[in-house]
Structure 1
């Protein structure tokens, strides 16, 4: 299950430094990180926030504690809309600076991180993805294996989030569920959390059956919209069924193929007739799901090299350019190689 919401922290100027450092420091301590690892994270946060102000004119930091293969890690995402960098590799070399500083910030962050990726385009800005593991240094999933990533943030100014993402796997099926509780705040969070718990316990593999099972179980909540996508590993077929305005598209390297969900609200009114949409699976495909916190006219062809990065970079980039900033926001990306 991956329903960890990112904490969204705005960075307008240097006055935010101590607030952000305190928030991240507290998060790592609660997660049980050692004093040494916490100290290293403090340095990373200081350098990341400093770069956002100096080079990006401010920006945003998203942070969460997550788990992969039984290993706990802290994930930091930095986003700015500054001038960007023409040569990211050069800027990571110690001593190279465009602001008359010592030029050691990027190199320090890279050395202290277990995963450090930077995507930057001139006159567009920069997105940085950093992971620090709780225990021994460990690289994240190799690009040859399954990647299932999500970036979920609450409506600006709120802590409770009505968006939620859940995943489960068996020997012959991988199932994903992205839900969005009606409205936002604690009641929306309650609806999507209950739906996610039902999804995780449901033994059905067919998305239509899963949707109906969730629908019957969340009738006492305010309701939600949601989409289930299941990959049959034996038949190599995606089966997708959704209710409401969750965007679901599959990118095959050349074009995006979309799925049209049914009208309705899970928990209130689901059509009597549901049918899963089937799409053939191919290695290298990327399935992308977004809540309505993302504008509908996004296009990943604007980012020609983005698929070389961890899929968290794609999620964060779509949020950077297409978030409405008036609701909870979530982007999920899944890439599977069999």
Structure 2
């Protein structure tokens, strides 16, 4: 799923549309966007109604209880099945006990109260992380039927303050049975950066099957007509991560005891490069691959978030974006579980 492919009817992009939840009027805007997207991806009337409930509850909670509430509405796809994903992010006050907060009737400042219970019953998939003083991230999905198996990879992107489009992007594909992922950062920001990223995503999707270094070479040739981009491609195989990059895409491999940086070479895909090199890293079962653009400060750590390593890739990515992303640049975070 690329972050810059425009959907036809709603004006949303696959990377999604972010809403600021500071006033009650924003709740209806979120609900309408979710309903429109639900109809577009093929949800029936009943499921669109369910989606409206979930969107309303999430958005209302952000307005009532949260600091700096944001909500992302975007398509969710697996194979030929499409649904809608909602990611609610805030910067506090957070919850100390998610299980207790999920009980209907329990509502204090900073909790979803009865709304969380309704979301849990209506959504096909719900995952959350919350830390007192830091805030909450909640991911809810509504599908046309039972929720598919939870994804092992997800990414979240957003444009810098004042921009309509995001110049950072991502894509995933399966190559010879292995998961291959791309994170790219179009040079600069705004529409021309988004064009470069769209070209990189398209070149990645159509690249011949091959290892990450060969794919990066293909991207370099394929986006020469654009202003260029920083790109990194990783392949998640059994027991290892293969990685190749040009430019300032950061990559890290996290396990229970360490955080290891992955090597990208200097350059700009489409314009200037050295010989592309590929590096291989051992990956223990359950290790996390985290890749992000330079709109995310690389000094982040997951150590202060109890249980976060075990949450869904969407929750991990949105948490890193919230707490390490800057507003002065586009930002993108991708998380994959080995």
Give TM-score, length-normalised by structure 1. 0.90
Distance in 2 (CA, whole Å) between partners of 1:208 and 1:139 is 32
Deviation at 1:86, TM superposition (A): 1.5
> Using a 3 Å threshold, how does the CA distance of structure 1 residues 211 and 66 change in structure 2: closer, same or farther?
same
Which residue in the other structure is 1:280 paired with? Answer: 282
**Structure 1 stretches lacking a partner, 5+ long:** none
Q: Is the 1:245–1:291 contact (alpha carbons within 8 Å) kept by the matching residues of 2?
A: yes
> Using a 3 Å threshold, how does the CA distance of structure 1 residues 248 and 102 change in structure 2: closer, same or farther?
closer
Distance in 2 (CA, whole Å) between partners of 1:172 and 1:81 is 39
5 Å-filtered alignment, 1:100-249, equals 103-133=113-143, 135-141=144-150, 147-233=152-238, 236-249=239-252
Q: Is the 1:96–1:103 contact (alpha carbons within 8 Å) kept by the matching residues of 2?
A: yes
Deviation at 1:237, TM superposition (A): 3.3
> Using a 3 Å threshold, how does the CA distance of structure 1 residues 222 and 88 change in structure 2: closer, same or farther?
same
Which residue in the other structure is 2:337 paired with? Answer: 335
> Using a 3 Å threshold, how does the CA distance of structure 1 residues 111 and 199 change in structure 2: closer, same or farther?
same
**Structure 2 stretches lacking a partner, 5+ long:** 4-13
Which residue in the other structure is 1:73 paired with? Answer: 83
Q: Is the 2:160–2:166 contact (alpha carbons within 8 Å) kept by the matching residues of 1?
A: yes
> Using a 3 Å threshold, how does the CA distance of structure 1 residues 57 and 195 change in structure 2: closer, same or farther?
closer
Distance in 1 (CA, whole Å) between partners of 2:205 and 2:295 is 24
Query: Do structure 1's residue 88 and structure 2's residue 91 form an aligned pair?
Result: no
Question: Deviations for 1:231-281, whole angstroms, at most 9, x for unmatched residues?
Answer: 344xx432211111111000122110001321111111111x332122123
Judge which range, 301-310 or 17-26, deviates more.
Answer: 17-26
Q: Is the 1:5–1:154 contact (alpha carbons within 8 Å) kept by the matching residues of 2?
A: no
Question: Deviations for 1:29-59, whole angstroms, at most 9, x for unmatched residues?
Answer: 2222222111111121221111112221451
Judge which range, 222-231 or 11-20, deviates more.
Answer: 11-20
Q: Is the 1:95–1:102 contact (alpha carbons within 8 Å) kept by the matching residues of 2?
A: no
> Using a 3 Å threshold, how does the CA distance of structure 1 residues 102 and 248 change in structure 2: closer, same or farther?
closer
Judge which range, 12-21 or 258-267, deviates more.
Answer: 12-21
Deviation at 1:72, TM superposition (A): 0.9
Query: Do structure 1's residue 301 and structure 2's residue 303 form an aligned pair?
Result: yes
Deviation at 1:125, TM superposition (A): 1.2
Give TM-score, length-normalised by structure 2. 0.90
> Using a 3 Å threshold, how does the CA distance of structure 1 residues 30 and 157 change in structure 2: closer, same or farther?
farther
Q: Secondary structure at 2:267's aligned position in 1?
A: coil
